[in-house]
Amino acid sequence: MPISVPSVHVIDSHTEGEPTRVIIEGGPDLGQGSMKEKAERFARDFDGFRRSMILEPRGSDILVGALLCPPSSPACVAGVIFFNNVGLLGMCGHGTIGVAMTLAHLDRLKTGRHAIETPVGAVGFELLGGSLVSIENVPSWRYRKDVELQVEGLGTVVGDIAWGGNWFFLTRYCPCPLTVEHVDRLTAVTLQIRRHLDKHAITGARGERVDHVELFAAGEAHDAHSRNFVLCPGAAYDRSPCGTGTSAKLACLAADGLLAPGKPWVQESVIGSRFEASFRVAEDSGIIPSIRGSAHVYSEARLLCHPDDPFVGGVYHSRMTPEATR
């Protein structure tokens, strides 16, 4: 007689090289309430599910998960909680593009404009045809300019703190070229910067942890305005140019008067993939960034979660435990 094993239907895609795993069916029921309340419930009561979906052996440290749930606003096609190897994300730009392509792959959405609801606000998106998606992110803004850090082993590092759906420290400090051959050094340096931010309680506007660090240099392609390296909360680096990081960058450029509303900004990632971005001025304050990129669905699976499997709860990579990444 076949044994019934709990299974989770997932669809994996990548956006400009950075993967997203959308939980289609088999995820926890988070009940009623706002997306913020649902995210709090997910973090508090279902952390084992998060670990099982993202960590090895079913996942990997570089995956971002997207749990679909009913939205509280009828204007949105889905509620989405993004999560990674160490916890939850406020928003995820590459992940929103991945969710959009996944819903199109399932034939749940047609070309045109739609929106999802995240714990930090509604995010509009447009399926542009083929693999292209453009998103309209939550209002983004710069909180502090030219924050000077004296980082052990690195010396003076100057950067801005900005919100783009997650909190970022953005700096032009570049110890080596922003290329894949250097990702170990770039990871070590950005972790060192983040440890300094943590140690000295340098936070977002309401005391939030600044959990993403973004290094910038000139773009390599002739039409790229900039290239970046983005350290994510769990010590993985973003293979895409990071949607929320590009939003935070646009907020800084806008605040400095270096980019006008509607003007294009091409942001390259450390692997050379790219987002095309621009912004409009937000009604209250800050900017509304638009980010355009491509996503490709590459796998559809049922993850089996047999209770007898000793590693059903996932295993942390030794360098990437929540403690090691602090």
Judged by CB under 6 A, which of 27, 219, 243, 272 binds ligand PYC?
A: 243
Site string for ligand PYC, 8-27 (x = CB under 6 A): ----------x---------
Active site residue 92: yes
Q: Is 238 in the site for ligand PYC (CB under 6 A)?
A: yes
Active site residue 174: no
Query: Which residue of the set 69, 242, 252, 305 is catalytic?
Result: 242
Please report how close the Cβ of residue 269 comes to ligand PYC at its closest, in angstroms.
Answer: 10
64/251 with CB nearer ligand PYC? 64
Judged by CB under 6 A, which of 102, 244, 278, 290 binds ligand PYC?
A: 244
Q: Is 232 in the site for ligand PYC (CB under 6 A)?
A: yes
Q: State in Å, rounded, how far the first CA of the chain is from the last one.
A: 48
Q: Is 250 in the site for ligand PYC (CB under 6 A)?
A: no
- List the interface residues with ligand PYC, window 69-128 (CB under 6 A): 89, 92-94
Please report how close the Cβ of residue 233 comes to ligand PYC at its closest, in angstroms.
Answer: 8
Phi (first) and psi of residue 53, to 5 degrees: -80, -30
- Give me 100's structure tokens: 């959009």
Which residues are marked as active site? 92, 242
User: Which residues contact ligand PYC (rule: CB under 6 A)?
Assistant: 18, 64, 89, 92-94, 232, 238, 240, 242-244
